[in-house]
Chain A
Amino acid sequence: MSYLSDTVDQSEWLQRVLSPVPVSVGLIVFGVALLSAQVGIGYPNFMIAALDLAVLGLTYGLVVLGLNLQVGHTGLINFGPHLYYAIGAYTTAMVASESTIAGVALGLPVPVGVVLGVVLSMVAGLFIGATSLQLRTDYLAIVTLASAEIMVRVINGIQFVFGGQTGILNVPQPIHEAAVNYKSELLVTLLILGGVLLLAYAAVDRLTSSPYGRVLRAIRADEEAAQSLGKAVPRYKLWVFIYGSALMGLAGTIVPLYNGSMAPTFTTIQMTVTVWIGMLVGGAANNRAVIGGIGIIIGLRLVTRYLQQYSPVGGGVFAPLRLVLIGAVLWAVIYYRPQGIWGDPDKLGEVFTRK
């Protein structure tokens, strides 16, 4: 990354200005300014669907950064991102909600909910990491998946806490409440989330391109060798698991604050599958590539959504055809580029590509 490079050249000043941190701060400040200026923003209606999907893409971007830290950089297979996402989302919803039909609604300030959501998902990461990170790779995959599925069923099953199928209602929507209309709300949301994602990217990229990241890659390549060099492998693995959980939890907190409610449909295994596909399509272990991968998956959803208008078949056939297309694209990417579109096969272990 340019902002970490040691070489001094004439464009250094420009590079520093365009590096992620100032840009993300700029995005957030601009978003807040737009919001407080109370300007109505206009753009063509057909863009609304695209921008709405982009909000989802940005939250998934946070999840994939955390997942990539665990899977791509350190080799810890985690099939349960939807667990931490759900914890972040439900905690925020229950803490901040003013009233709901069934379930908990504490009515505390929104920031309290966000902080608690992130902290609790870190605690969950600590608990699951401490108990299962010593398991073999395929068992770890299943334990993480199983613990997430337990959470999904608990959320669905225990109505008086989580509100059952209806979920938690009347969660404050800070941007919605401050914005003039829906179009400006959407744009400001995108600006602020874009800034948050870029900040998270800068933090993760800084972490993984430092000596710390080298230790993580050493653990991924050969755990015993890393251990024999005096690195406290279990502690590194646990902390990476917690950092990843924090990012996934943070992504979760966005969901109720944007939608105004939280229901089990937002935290199914489908979300985990989407993020995994995005990560591997882009190229695991490369922080920019995984976000690009998410962009491709979200773009694919959007394109097929528009295509439906021109399709001769009805919705009953088009919806499954769309899934066939997504499956076929994924298969083709693995066939032609098993390391992912921007991935480097030499960097990933044999788990991903065979030599």
Chain B
Amino acid sequence: MVSLAQVLIFSAEFGSFVAIAAISFSIVYRVVGMINFAHGEWLTMGAYIGVLTVQALGGNALLALPVVVLLSGVGGYGLARGFYRPLRRSGAGPIMLMLGSIAVGYILRAGFRIVFSSEPKTVVIPTDVYRFDVLGGFFVNTTQLFVIGMAVIVFTVVHLMFKRTNVGIAMRATGSDEDLAEVCGIDTSHIRRNTWLSMSGLAGLAGFLIGVSTNVYPLLGYQYLLLLIAAAILGGIGSAYGAIAGAYVIGLAVTFTTSYLPTAVSTLGTAVAFVLLILVLLVRPSGIADVEAAT
């Protein structure tokens, strides 16, 4: 039996991955108006960029971090521009755009397999990062602290960006009413570009953190896709704060079921997360945080 404190640490780590990924998914949906089913591949891309960068920088994960975020941002934006903008311009509506993102997901997942093979890759960082500390009967390793710390930093930065910077405020305006934002002198195509750049960077960061904690393989991001969508919806899609709340709720649900249920049914962890999602939606059809009300 695992101690409660230990399970909470696992939940916090898992929730942090999902939260960072869900924020980026949710904000892209809000500003650009598109459900990106290839968002998991944005994570995988960040993880592979991480593998290469850490290698190039001689195993320093902290030094690699800004490079990963930057390159993932540029990469994600490039993909959106190359694949999604032509579809949008040719007249595809939301559902067709979503289907287009499924196509892009196919292409990227297969592309990762061709370029990097299906073999899992490990992000090699100096061993002291993996040192285990015993704190009153349970373990916290430095990777977990690193992941949770990074999540807190991301939440602060995202919060400040949306509340204090012009770009963030313009993004919120574009998300609420694109035509009105345009009339108010906001260059919405510029805002869409900034959204893709910053949120792809965040998705890449989430992928990098997952890669550091486990290892990197072509399906890494895809396996988080449904969970991050569930977290975003649970929190009322479009709200960054909601996405954070939703992600930790899902983190708790998944970790608790996998830790405490008998092993015969322990694969039901994610099922419990979805049951929770459905229950919440039935009681509050617009998620935990209602976007219309929250902004």
A residues within 8 Å of B by Cβ?
Answer: 77, 131-132, 134-136, 138-139, 141-143, 145-147, 149-150, 153-154, 156-159, 273, 276-277, 280, 316-317, 319-324, 326-328, 330-331, 334-336, 338, 345, 349-355
Tell me whether A132 and B282 are in contact in the complex, defined as CB-CB below 8 angstroms, given that A146-B230, A316-B117 are known contacts: yes
B residues within 8 Å of A by Cβ?
Answer: 35, 83, 86-88, 90-96, 99-100, 102-107, 109-111, 113-114, 117-118, 226, 229-230, 233, 237, 264-268, 270-271, 274-275, 277-278, 281-282, 285-286
Secondary structure at chain B's binding surface: helix, strand, loop or mixed?
helix
Query: A353 vs B92: C-alpha distance in the bound complex, in angstroms?
Result: 5
Partner of A142, one of B104, B114, B229: B229
Secondary structure at chain A's binding surface: helix, strand, loop or mixed?
helix
Which 9 pairs, one residue from A and one from B, show the smallest C-beta to C-beta distance? A327-B106, A320-B110, A153-B271, A327-B107, A323-B110, A330-B103, A146-B274, A320-B113, A338-B92
Some 5 contacts from A to B, beta carbons below 8 A apart, are A146-B226, A156-B267, A324-B111, A327-B107, A336-B90
Q: Is the CB of B278 within 8 A of A147?
A: yes
Contacts of A142 in B (CB 8 A): 229-230, 233, 277, 281
Contacts of B226 in A (CB 8 A): 145-146, 149
Number of CB contacts from chain A to chain B under 8 A:
150
Q: Is the CB of A338 within 8 A of B107?
A: no
Nearest Cβ on chain A to B124's Cβ, whole angstroms: 24
Contacts of A132 in B (CB 8 A): 278, 281-282
Contacts of A354 in B (CB 8 A): 88, 91-93
Partner of B87, one of A146, A157, A321, A334: A334
Q: Is the CB of B92 within 8 A of A157?
A: no
Chain B, residue nearest A152 (CB): B271
Query: A338 vs B270: C-alpha distance in the bound complex, in angstroms?
Result: 34
Query: A144 vs B71: C-alpha distance in the bound complex, in angstroms?
Result: 35
Query: A323 vs B265: C-alpha distance in the bound complex, in angstroms?
Result: 33
Contacts of A154 in B (CB 8 A): 268, 271
Contacts of A320 in B (CB 8 A): 109-111, 113-114
Query: A134 vs B283: C-alpha distance in the bound complex, in angstroms?
Result: 12
Partner of B265, one of A131, A145, A158, A353: A158
Chain B, residue nearest A140 (CB): B281
Query: A139 vs B281: C-alpha distance in the bound complex, in angstroms?
Result: 8
Query: A257 vs B146: C-alpha distance in the bound complex, in angstroms?
Result: 53
Contacts of B268 in A (CB 8 A): 153-154, 157-158
Nearest Cβ on chain B to A273's Cβ, whole angstroms: 6
Tell me whether A276 and B99 are in contact in the complex, defined as CB-CB below 8 angstroms, given that A154-B268, A351-B93, A351-B94 are known contacts: yes
Nearest Cβ on chain A to B87's Cβ, whole angstroms: 6
Most buried by A among B91, B102, B226: B91
Q: Is the CB of A149 within 8 A of B90?
A: no
Contacts of A323 in B (CB 8 A): 106-107, 109-110
Contacts of A138 in B (CB 8 A): 35, 233, 237
Query: A334 vs B96: C-alpha distance in the bound complex, in angstroms?
Result: 7
Q: Is the CB of B277 within 8 A of A157?
A: no
Partner of B285, one of A139, A324, A353: A139
Contacts of B107 in A (CB 8 A): 323-324, 327-328, 331
Query: A353 vs B117: C-alpha distance in the bound complex, in angstroms?
Result: 37
Partner of B114, one of A139, A158, A317: A317
Q: Is the CB of B99 within 8 A of A327?
A: no
Chain B, residue nearest A145 (CB): B226
Q: Is the CB of A326 within 8 A of B90?
A: no
Contacts of B230 in A (CB 8 A): 142, 146
19 additional A-B pairs beyond A138-B35, A276-B99, A334-B100, beta carbons within 8 Å, are A132-B278, A135-B281, A139-B285, A143-B277, A146-B230, A147-B274, A149-B226, A149-B270, A156-B267, A158-B268, A273-B102, A280-B95, A280-B96, A327-B105, A327-B107, A331-B103, A334-B103, A338-B92, A353-B91
